[in-house]
Chain A
């Protein structure tokens, strides 16, 4: 129902063979679905067979969100111990939670015990040796159950990296870890997740699910529920690494632009250190622009840095106490840099857009300070933009009107 990037092929009638195959698949799927609905409608969430059925169906269709919910109910109705009410999990000692009706935890110390309700009836006595069936058989403590769930979703995520429901389920499992495991154990489970986020971002550098997941992991890890210490330096370094691998990774530049506020706060950076940081970042993106002047990710980041110098109303800035001279100096330097760049690359629109924005910002500053009478005419850049980017003609008309208005007001 939501096809992306799949080539259109002529719709020919299905052959009898194809129709038969479809019907077989439908029948198998329906059987699974019916069996799950039947058990769920009878609230048999502690039935281990139900849990296994959800595994089967979710492997066929991880978008079927209701089945993820059934699986959650299976976990909270027996497979997981009851979290100690209200308090933090401390020792999730399985022996204290036998009140749960059919509780897997009751078999903690004897996975081969016949009293145990294995997740898979197959080979309940074998330990975890890596295969799915063995893993299903071996789980019995909360940490095992939760680790098993995390492992279960990995191949699904690899195959369906943009499926919201899988990411959501994984987050829920991680929250269960906080509720049910001793803090050091929960922390180690969560820390391991950062590696998964990195792996997903190697697979697809722009996957916004994976970037959002990473930010979520970091925020939770930093909380007192888990590590209770800042990871901002590590995360900032991570964006450097991602940018070095691919200058066009706007997602990495974006994350950097958000992290730098906290980074400077936590470094207790004074005004001077903040200004030095800004200059260093400007140098970094200038070097990148010298290599890739057509890269809009770089231009967005450049504009973001320059907007720190002259923030629009109400927006925070990393350099709140720059002097007027410092502001003018930053803007003039960036304008010079772009003009130099244009000597080699004059047919790209992005530098002109930046020039237009910066010269207008400079004019505003200079109307408050001393003008040296050498200002660039923004209309020159605007006429270049009209030529290089005719798609946005309507925008340039509005900008021209605004420039006229601004000039009139400044007289």
Chain B
């Protein structure tokens, strides 16, 4: 990666600006757009905080306030909503568990929250939780909707909480296998078109379940590496435009199946760096567009997987720093 240091200044990672940008996100309370995104608040905290950890500024957001906010989103049944007063949903519950993992605060969940058992029981099919006893699928909340995103979210959170035994992993695996397409990819549900985001969730779910043997690795890797476009960026499906977030969905999937070297690393690094706002911080979907915290995180996770210097390593399965998953999961084995 020595050659990267010779890139022009606008193609260096703007670490200080990115840190500042993430710190500024919670100061826009008098802006209407801030209000309109309240349903993403807990996710946003997870995206921003993970980005800060990768940038090696883990304390740039105050730990106490972070934990207070996360716990303020918890409901009595153990689930988390996007913000205080928002209904509980799988998407936020996973973010909450990830944040608490990141700041090493599972003990606070026990003392000040409902405890991890109650969170985990939300998913249990035996407890009439979110897993379907017959199909192995997971719903996002009591109003239904099944999606491989939720299946992955459940396995991710339960694995972090060391509570995987509460769900039927074999049935979940069977369902993921049913989502496979001839091109090696996976969709939202059986029969749905392959999509890089869903591929990430399915490959990661199979990895957590230790069932990568079910993946048609070379076919999938070929489809994934064909997502790279001449400008270096990756798209999510054939005939679509490039987008920084696919630097994560595609590359994490390739990493998990040991094929990250199938794409042109230098070109992707350039594409991500070109999408930075080097003045005000943040990364956008593609060069010249508006930045947001979601693309900021997935630009940085992409760079991390590409071995870009001065960034911490990201775990491609959990989308958390490797140091975090090592601390939590590494010690179990």
Contact = CB atoms under 8 A, between A and B. Distances in A.
Nearest to A4: B285
Contact of A392 (B38, B193, B194, B228): B228
B243 A4 contact: yes
A56 interface: no
A381 to B, nearest CB: 14
A69 B143 contact: yes
A43 B299 CA distance: 43
B291 A296 contact: no
A248 interface: yes
Interface in B185-204: 187-189, 191-195
A23 B40 CA distance: 21
Interface stretch (B53-61, B98-106, B257-265): B257-265
B104 to A, nearest CB: 26
Interface string B36-73: 11111000100000000000000000000000000000
A296 B81 contact: no
Nearest to B145: A168
B31 interface: yes
Interface string B223-267: 001101010000001111001000000000000000101111001
A248 B284 CA distance: 27
18 contacts: A2-B37, A4-B243, A5-B285, A37-B85, A64-B38, A65-B86, A65-B87, A168-B143, A171-B145, A212-B189, A215-B192, A216-B189, A258-B191, A296-B239, A312-B216, A391-B228, A392-B226, A392-B263
B238 A3 contact: no
A248 B239 contact: yes
Nearest to B192: A212
B221 interface: yes
Interface stretch (A80-88, A119-127, A132-140, A249-257): A249-257
Contacts of A395: 221-222, 225, 259, 262
B292 interface: yes
A232 to B, nearest CB: 12
A1 B293 CA distance: 6
B144 A171 contact: yes
Interface of A: 1-9, 11, 19, 22-23, 25-26, 29-30, 37, 60-61, 63-66, 69, 72, 164, 168, 171-172, 175, 206, 208, 211-212, 215-216, 248, 250-251, 254-255, 257-258, 295-297, 300, 303-304, 307, 312, 315, 390-395, 398, 402
Nearest to A259: B191
Contacts of A212: 187-189, 192
B290 A8 contact: yes
B222 A8 contact: no
A47 B23 CA distance: 42
Given A5-B285, A63-B40, 6 more contacts: A1-B293, A6-B289, A66-B39, A175-B144, A312-B219, A391-B264
Interface string B89-121: 100000000000000000000000000000000
A296 B226 contact: yes
A7 B192 contact: no
Interface in B150-192: 181-183, 187-189, 191-192
B294 interface: yes
B30 interface: yes
B120 to A, nearest CB: 23
B39 A64 contact: yes
Contacts of A295: 239
Given A29-B35, A250-B193, A297-B239, A391 B293 contact: no
A174 to B, nearest CB: 11
Given A8-B290, A208-B192, A208-B193, A25 B32 contact: yes
Contact of B191 (A4, A22, A215): A215
Interface centre among B35, B141, B288, by most chain A C-beta atoms within 10 angstroms, is B35
A395 B217 CA distance: 12
A391 to B, nearest CB: 4
Contact of A7 (B263, B280, B288): B288
A2 B240 CA distance: 18
A216 B146 CA distance: 11
Given A72-B143, A391-B228, A22 B193 contact: no
A35 to B, nearest CB: 13
Closest 10 CB pairs of A and B: A394-B261, A395-B262, A1-B37, A3-B290, A391-B264, A6-B290, A254-B193, A66-B87, A3-B292, A168-B145
B295 interface: yes
Contacts of B284: 3, 8
Contacts of A296: 226, 238-239
A36 B144 CA distance: 23
B277 interface: yes
A168 B225 CA distance: 32
Given A26-B35, A168-B143, A5 B239 contact: no
Nearest to A258: B191
Nearest to A36: B85
Contacts of B192: 208, 211-212, 215
A315 B220 CA distance: 14
A394 B36 contact: no
A390 B264 contact: yes
Nearest to B141: A69
A19 B141 CA distance: 37
Interface in B294-322: 294-295
A172 B292 contact: no
A4 B284 CA distance: 8
Contacts of A390: 264
Contacts of B228: 391-392
